């Protein structure tokens, strides 16, 4: 089978959408850090749709660590297929918004020089929660992070995302060029504001004047991003290549749904993403909270519990009636009441649509994938909701079960006594705490609650929280996830 590339584009079946603009005429207006599956199925697709109208917004994609994406896609002239799949079948689109790909650590200096080119007006990020070198509980820069320490001394060859952005901004300032807009696209609360705090603090440590310039001149709009994009499997590669009649080394299979809400605060212009479905608003905070708490909070809870119950994918876990019920109750009873009013927004309908999306039988979204990096995810997915519920005197039983399931997870041993491959930047520390405590809730819960980067200073001191987590963990350890979930759902029905 021939490879997908510019020269073979005209052999695609007529049903496959493809770039209708002249890719030669596209220039690089955006440098995107983190070209994983999410970016390639989300921002890259929105951008692909506007390039015909405005070719100034091509995307130079940067991988922070591995060269795999670049190596897979360069022989394809930076083209890849996005398949949107659901029970009705698949639709395919070849995306052409990439103007090139770089691997940051191969040429960090070259990357900052690119960032300082006048045509670059936006630098965006999908580097996942752990890519921010921050303390997840407070959102502040982790100044002990080895990459941050390195970058503070060697800003000419940065390693971290924060250092890379700062290096680009510094070059622009030194060249008396206006700064680019920094567009955070990760699932962090107030992602733009958080990133502003991190880059500003880093810049202050480099030089107070530079810090003041970043604080005063650089825009960091917040965004809410949403599309469920599982990691590509070999089966996806084979099915998608067969459907388009050309070999694609790294296509993406995703759901039809996508959403992007963006604060309209760009210093050097922006693509008309609103003409292709994105929404520009003055304040993205209510959207972000809604998505992080309802979607991601229940996604994580479902994934830990579902994995313990033997389900490899989210759709399989949702086929377990008690688990599906628990997740729906979690959303409606414990998360939704903490959300600010969003005019014209139908929260029950949104929850129902999330349930339907989780049930998408064509997506093989592994529970294990979502379970990754829990130490970085819990604060915004579950703990903020818990704080608001406690302040309002509401129940937190299901939220606490999610936290307890994470605690069970980081012990690294599943219900059958088999090892769990726990991927988390704090995995070793969490495991050491769990091993020292042993699998007994009254010791394990307090041991893990000492991790201030996750739980902050307040929650471990609130007996309503510690009691609920310990009791949920006790049930999980003694009776297992299935019996715990069933009992909780039955109790709620009484």
Residues that bind ligand CS2 (CB under 6 A): 187, 226-228, 295-296, 299, 369-370, 377
Smallest gap from residue 257 Cβ to ligand CS2 (A)? 9
| Vertex 287: Cα angle to 262 and 34 (nearest 5) | 50
- Residue 45 vs 111, nearer CB to ligand CS2: 45
Query: Using N-to-C axis directions, what is the helix angle for 441-449 and 463-493, rounded to 10°?
Result: 130
State the minimum distance, in angstroms, from the CB of residue 347 to ligand CS2.
17
Identify the three-state secondary structure at position 487: helix
CB closer to ligand CS2, 148 vs 290: 290
Closer residue to ligand CS2 in complex, CB, 42/201: 42
Q: Which residue lies nearer to ligand CS2 by CB, 382 or 468?
A: 382
Q: How far is Cα 222 from Cα 263, in angstroms, rounded to an integer?
A: 6
**How far apart are alpha carbons 219 and 215 in whole angstroms?**
9
Closest distance to ligand CS2 from the beta carbon of 224 (Å): 9
Tell me which residue of 146, 151, 155, 78 sits closest to 116, measured CA to CA. Answer: 155
As measured in angstroms, the least distance from the Cβ of 302 to ligand CS2 is: 9
The helix (run of H) or strand (run of E) holding residue 485 is helix 463-493
Please, which residue, 296 or 395, has the CB nearer to ligand CS2? Answer: 296
| Residue number, 211 or 374, with CB nearest to ligand CS2 | 374
Least distance to ligand CS2 from the beta carbon of 413, Å?
22
Encode 76-113: b = buried (16+ Cβ within 10 Å), e = exposed. Answer: bbbbbbbbbbbeeeeebbbbbbbbbbbbbeeebeebbe
Closer by beta carbon to ligand CS2, 214 or else 328: 328
Sequence-ordered list of residues with C-beta below 8 angstroms from that of 418, at least 6 positions apart, any chain? none
* Inter-residue contact 3 to 244 (CB < 8 Å): no
Q: Nearer to ligand CS2 by C-beta: 70 or 299?
A: 299
For residue 212, the minimal CB distance to ligand CS2 (Å) is 34
Q: Quick one: DSSP state of residue 335?
A: I
The minimum distance between CB 258 and ligand CS2, in angstroms, equals: 8
DSSP state for residue 127 in the 8-state scheme: -
Q: How far is CA 352 from CA 52, 332, 346, 423, in A?
A: 35, 10, 10, 30
Q: How far is the CB of 227 from ligand CS2 (least distance, A)?
A: 5
Beta carbon nearer to ligand CS2, 213 or 273: 273
Give the C-alpha separation, 179 to 44, whole Å: 22
In the complex with ligand CS2, which residue's Cβ is closer, 257 or 266? 257
Q: Are strands 259-263 and 223-226 parallel, antiparallel or unpaired?
A: antiparallel
Rg over CA atoms, the chain = 23
| 3 state SS for 347-416 | HHHHHHHHHHHHHCCCCCCEHHHHHCCHHHHHHHHHHHHHHHHHHCCCCCHHHHHHHHHHHHHHCCECCC
What is the closest distance, in whole angstroms, from the C-beta atom of residue 300 to ligand CS2 in the complex? 6
Closer CB to ligand CS2, 96 or 306, in the complex:
306
Indicate left, alpha or beta for 441 from its phi (over 0: left) and psi (-120 to 50: alpha).
alpha
Give the nearest distance from C-beta 299 to ligand CS2 in angstroms.
4
Minimum distance from residue 306 beta carbon to ligand CS2 (Å): 13
Q: Are 31 and 60 in contact (CB under 8 A)?
A: yes
């Amino acid at each position: 089978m021939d490879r997908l590339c510019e020269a073979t584009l005209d052999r695609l079946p007529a049903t496959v959408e493809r770039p209708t603009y002249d890719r030669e005429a596209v220039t690089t207006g955006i440098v995107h850090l983190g070209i994983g599956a999410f970016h390639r199925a989300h921002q890259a697709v929105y951008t692909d749709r506007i390039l015909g109208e405005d070719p100034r917004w091509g995307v130079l994609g940067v991988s922070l660590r591995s060269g795999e994406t670049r190596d897979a896609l360069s022989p394809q002239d930076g083209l890849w297929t996005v398949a949107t799949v659901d029970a009705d079948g698949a639709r395919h689109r070849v995306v052409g918004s990439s103007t090139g790909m770089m691997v940051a650590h191969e040429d960090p200096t070259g990357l900052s020089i690119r960032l300082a080119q006048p045509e670059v007006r936006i630098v965006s990020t999908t580097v996942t929660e752990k890519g921010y070198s921050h303390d997840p509980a407070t959102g502040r820069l982790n100044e002990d992070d080895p990459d941050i320490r390195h970058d503070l001394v060697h800003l000419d060859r940065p390693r971290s995302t924060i250092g890379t952005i700062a290096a680009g901004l510094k070059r622009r300032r030194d060249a008396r060029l206006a700064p680019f807009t920094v567009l955070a696209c990760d699932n962090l609360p107030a992602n733009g504001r958080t990133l502003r705090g991190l880059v500003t603090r880093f810049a202050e440590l480099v030089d107070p004047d530079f810090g003041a310039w970043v604080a005063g001149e650089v825009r960091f709009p917040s965004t809410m991003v949403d599309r469920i994009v599982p990691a590509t499997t070999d089966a996806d590669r084979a099915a998608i290549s067969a459907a388009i009649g050309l070999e694609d080394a790294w296509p993406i299979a995703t759901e039809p749904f996508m959403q992007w809400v963006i604060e309209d605060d760009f210093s050097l212009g922006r693509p008309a993403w609103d003409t292709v479905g994105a929404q520009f608003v003055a304040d993205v905070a209510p959207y972000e909270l809604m998505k992080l708490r309802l979607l991601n909070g229940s996604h994580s809870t479902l994934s830990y519990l579902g994995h313990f119950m033997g389900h490899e994918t989210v759709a399989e876990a949702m086929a377990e009636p008690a688990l599906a019920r628990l997740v729906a109750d979690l959303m409606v009873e414990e998360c939704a009441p903490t959300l600010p009013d969003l005019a014209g927004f139908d929260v029950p309908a949104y929850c129902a649509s999330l349930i339907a999306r989780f049930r998408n039988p064509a997506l093989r979204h592994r529970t294990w994938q979502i379970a990754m990096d829990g130490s970085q995810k819990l604060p915004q997915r579950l703990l903020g909701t818990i704080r608001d519920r406690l302040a309002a005197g509401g129940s937190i039983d299901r939220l606490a079960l999610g936290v307890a399931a994470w605690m069970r997870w980081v012990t690294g041993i599943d219900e059958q006594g088999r090892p769990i491959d726990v991927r988390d930047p704090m995995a070793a520390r969490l495991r050491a705490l769990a091993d020292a405590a042993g699998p007994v809730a009254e010791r394990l819960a307090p041991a893990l609650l000492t991790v201030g980067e996750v739980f902050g200073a307040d929650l471990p001191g609130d007996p309503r929280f510690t009691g609920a987590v310990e009791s949920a963990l006790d049930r999980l350890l003694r009776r297992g996830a299935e019996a715990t979930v069933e009992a909780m759902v039955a109790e709620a029905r009484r």
